[in-house]
Structure 1
Amino acid sequence: MGRVSQAQARENRQRVVQTASRLFRERGTHISVVDLMKASGLTHGGFYKQFASKEALIDEATVHAFGELAQGREDDPEQHDGRHAAQQALIERYLSVEHRDNPAEGCPVAALAHDMAREPGAREAHRAYIEGAGDFADWLATEDHDGITQLCTMLGALVLARATKGSPLSEEILAAARGVLMEARRSGR
C-alpha cells in the first residue's frame, strides 16, 4: 500500500481527534489505542505516525471537545432571543434525558471530570479542562446568578443522573436540578 498524501494524513488525523473526543466523553480516556483507531476506521500502526503518544491525543481531543462546547454557546444567543434565553435553553438541554443518554456528544466538563483528575500526563488537556470549565461558568453567570454554582448544580445533577440511569431517581434528579435553576432565574434569586 502506498503512502497517503499530506491532505489525506491531515484528514485522518482530524478523524482520529474527532473520534477520540467522542469516545473519551463516552467511555473515558482509558480506551485503548487499538479500539480508538478501529473506531476511526484506521489501522493501529498509523497512530504513532500521527501522534507522539496517547497523552498527546488526549490533549488534542480535549481541546477539540471544549472547542465544540464553546462554539455551541456562541451559536445559542443567535438562535434564541438573547443571552438570557440562550442560557435557559442550555440549562434545559443540559439537564435532559437526551444529554444524559448521549455523553459522547455532550458536555466535556461532566464527561471528562473523572479522567482529568487522574490523567497526569495530559497537561494540555488539564489546562483546556480548567479553562473550558471556567469559561462555561462565566457564560452561565448573570447579574443575579453565580455561574460556578449553576455549573456545579448542572454537572452534579448530570453525573448523578447518569449513575442512576434506568431508575426513576435519574429523571427525578434532572427535573429537580432543572426546576431549581429555572425557578431561581425567574425569581431573580
Structure 2
Amino acid sequence: MPLSKEHKAATRERILSQAAALFRRDGVDGVSVPALMKEAGLTHGGFYAHFSSKNALVAEAVTRSLQGTTDHLVEAAERSKGPRKDRAAAAIDEYVSRGHRDHPEAGCAIAALGAETSRGDAVVQRAAADGAREAAARLSKTLGLGDDTSDEVLALYAGMIGAIVLARACRDDKALSDRVIEVCRERLKMNFPV
C-alpha cells in the first residue's frame, strides 16, 4: 500500500529539520547521508525519494535556517517597540550572544556554514545569497530603513555574523570568546545610525 502524501511530507520534513540542525552543528562535510537518515530514524535508501541530491538538501536546509533566524531577529526587534536604534539593539543582543555562539545547531546558517556554502555547489551558494538578501531586506523594513536592503543593515548583518564566527573560532579561550561577544555587541549597537 503506497504511503499517503501526508506521511511523505512528514518524513521529508523530519529529514529537513534534522539536516538543518546537523549541518549547522557538524558542517556539511561532517554529515553523510547515511548518518543523517539514521539520525532521523530512517533508512539510507529512502533519502532520494525526498531529495534529488545532498546539495539540494543542503540548499533547503540553509534556506530553512536563514528564514528561522530572520524570523527570530525580526520578532526581537519588534518586541522592542522603541525607536530604530532600540530595535536594532534588540536584534543585535539576540544574535550576538553566548547562546547563539554555543548552539550553532539552532542558529544562523551563514554563521555556521558561511565558508562551506561559499565553496559549495551553485544551488547551495544561491540559497545562501537569497537567504542573506531576504534577511537583510526584512531587517531593513523592520528597522524602518525601507523595503530595500540598506547599506546600514548589510553592514550590521555582516558584523553580527562575523562576531559569532570569531567568538566560535576562539571558544577554546572562553575569556577571549566572551570578550569578542561583548565588545562586538556594544560596538555594533554604538555604530548603528539613529
TM-score, normalised relative to structure 1: 0.85
Name the % identity.
33
1:173 aligned to 2:173? no
1:10 aligned to 2:27? no
8 Å contact kept, 1:66–1:128: no
Mapped partners of 1:159, 1:147: distance in 2: 18
Per-residue deviation, residues 6-37 of structure 1 (Å, max 9, x unmatched): 21111000110111111111111111001111
Q: Deviation of residue 82 (structure 1)? A: 4.9
Q: Which residue of 1 aligns with 2:76?
A: 76
Q: Unpaired runs of 5+ in structure 2?
A: none
Report the AA paired with residue 128 of structure 1: A
Per-residue deviation, residues 60-87 of structure 1 (Å, max 9, x unmatched): 2122112212322443344221573332
8 Å contact kept, 2:24–2:104: yes
Write out aligned runs for 1:2-151 (5 A). 3-30=2-29, 31-82=31-82, 84=84, 85-120=86-121, 123-138=122-137, 139=139, 146-151=152-157
**Other structure's SS at 2:177 match:** helix
TM-score, normalised relative to structure 2: 0.83
Q: Which residue of 1 aligns with 2:164?
A: 158
CA RMSD of aligned residues (A): 2.3
Mapped partners of 1:74, 1:183: distance in 2: 19
Mapped partners of 1:145, 1:44: distance in 2: 44
Tell me which moved more, 141-150 or 129-138: 141-150
Q: 1:72 to 1:93 in 2, by over 3 A?
A: closer
Q: 1:7 to 1:16 in 2, by over 3 A?
A: same
Q: Unpaired runs of 5+ in structure 1?
A: none
Q: Deviation of residue 92 (structure 1)? A: 0.8
**Other structure's SS at 1:146 match:** helix
Runs of 4+ in 1 over 4 A off after TM superposition: 140-145
Mapped partners of 1:172, 1:98: distance in 2: 14
Q: 1:83 to 1:9 in 2, by over 3 A?
A: farther
Mapped partners of 2:108, 2:125: distance in 1: 15
